Amino acid sequence: MRVAQLDFADPEFPVSIVEKPSPDLPGPQWARIRVTGGGICGSDLHLFKPTTGQTPMLMSYVAMPMELGHEISGIVLEAGPGFPIDSGERVAVDPVMGCVARGIEPLCPQCAIGAAASCHNLASREVTPGFMIGYTNGLGSGWADEVVVHESMLHLVPDAVADEAVVLHEPLSVVIHGVLRRPPRDGDRVLIVGAGIIGLCAVAAIKSLFPACHVTVVAKHDHQQDAARSLGADEVVAPASDGSHISELAKIAETHVVGTGMLAGGFQYVIEAVGAPGAISECLRSVGGGGTIIFLGAAGVTEVDLTPLWFKEVTVAGSFCHASDPHGAEGLVHSVDLALDVLASGALPHDLVITHEFPLGQLREAVETALGRGETGALKVVLRPQDMV
């Protein structure tokens, strides 16, 4: 099979597409998946052009060479005895490899409560080095023809979700888990900073799961602004390079700007969907007193003025990947299953947000299209390894 791996073999482009034997199933509870969609995530793009600062603390959590692609949709090809999902079924993959997938017992405290993304054993190198599919080696990945996955990582896809849309479960689930870590209240004014795919998924998630919230989006590019409006954002604000759009945000939040550009009151609930210092600062200066910021952008080493954090008594909730979280009367719900429900409802139309699709062999063009989103109009770029495009 073909797999895209980060190996720096080509001085022009750090990723090579290499032929490897199909990986063996590591155990009876594993299945081989034929990949039908491999999304290109903002975090993948940092490997090609870093914009959010380095994250040296995570060096022990990745394999090298690294098989890339953690946004994965597929079809079960083959499974071990006793595997609960039939061959031919469509599946969404939760790429995180916690204690259950690695066969570690007893489960760590986080896995014991269904929060494998914050598993204590992500750097254990059991089964594979790397904390999740897309940063591992030897299992295949989303930018490959095949991937092998433990049953605990698979979610069945409802019939109402179109084949092309399934791969969107991953960024949407990232947002849903983040939001459910500390949900907004009815009537909250929500500010989403950033309108790449994570920001747009946040619009769809808030509008679907918390429809009584008012949603404002800060969106840089025209095509992002249009998409945010199509998904139901109540207000869309274009950021000015001198920060002067803060007065527009003040008007929406029915407050005023103090001094050098902090809102006196502000938005009760803010979602950081970029990971760059400018966006983090935007969240901090716009959040209201006693408000909440959900950190979804993958910020690394960076410099921001944290004054509003303590001065406004802000609560910051970090979030990573996927988990089971309490959701209303339903009790504990896994974020991937909720994401699939949101996709089934049509709240995040795939033909709106999947703007480009490429065969695996055109990986370089796909990455350049995603990186050049200001010119290409890219929102989500998806690789289709089975040459569906």
Residues of this chain that interact with Zn ion (CB under 5 A) are: 41, 43, 98-99, 108, 111, 119, 121
The runs of H, that is alpha helices, within the chain are 42-45, 99-102, 109-112, 169-181, 197-209, 222-230, 246-252, 277-286, 307-311, 335-345, 350-353, 363-371, 373-376
Six token digits for residue 233: 């954002």
Query: Is the Cβ of residue 121 or residue 216 nearer to Zn ion in the bound state?
Result: 121
- For residue 205, which of 165, 182, 172 has the smallest C-alpha distance? 172
- What minimum distance in Å lies between the beta carbon of 41 and Zn ion? 3
For Zn ion, give the closer residue by CB, 112 or 240.
112
For Zn ion, which is the closer residue by CB, 198 or 250? 198
CB atoms within 10 A of CB 7: 15
Output 167 or 283, the one with its CB closest to Zn ion.
167
CA angle (67, 93, 376) in 5-degree steps? 65
* CA-angle at 43, arms to 151 and 354, nearest 5°: 80
Helix, strand or coil for residue 99? helix
Q: Which is nearer to Zn ion, 145 or 170 (CB)?
A: 170
DSSP string of 190-232, one letter each residue: EEEE--SHHHHHHHHHHHHH-TTSEEEEE--SHHHHHHHHHTT
Q: Counting Cβ atoms within 10 Å, is residue 123 exposed (0-12), middle (13-18) or buried (19+)?
A: middle
The structure tokens listed for 47 are 């490997």
CA angle 235, 241, 247 (to 5 degrees): 45
Least distance to Zn ion, CB of residue 105, Å: 10
d(CA 129, CA 137): 7
Smallest gap from residue 368 Cβ to Zn ion (A) = 19
User: In the bound complex, what is the minimum distance in angstroms from residue 170's beta carbon to Zn ion?
Assistant: 6
- Nearest approach, Cβ of residue 143 and Zn ion (Å): 12
**Cβ-based nearer residue to Zn ion, 2 or 46:** 46
Q: Which CB sits closer to Zn ion, 119 or 147? A: 119
Terminal alpha carbon distance of the chain: 18
Give yes or no for a cis peptide into 26 (omega within 30° of 0). Answer: no
| Nearer to Zn ion (CB atom), residue 22 or residue 124 | 124
For Zn ion, the closer of residues 119 and 316 by Cβ is 119
CB of 266 to Zn ion, least distance (A): 28
Shortest distance (Å) from residue 117 CB to Zn ion: 10
Per-position DSSP letters for 175-198, written without gaps between them = HHHHHHHSPPPTTPEEEEE--SHH
CA distance 336 to 342: 10
CB of residue 72 to Zn ion, shortest distance in Å: 11
- Would you say 98 or 194 has its CB closer to Zn ion? 98
**Least Å distance between CB 314 and Zn ion?**
25
- The token duo for 88 is 């031919």
What minimum distance in Å lies between the beta carbon of 14 and Zn ion? 18
Assess contact for 70 and 135: CB atoms under 8 A: yes
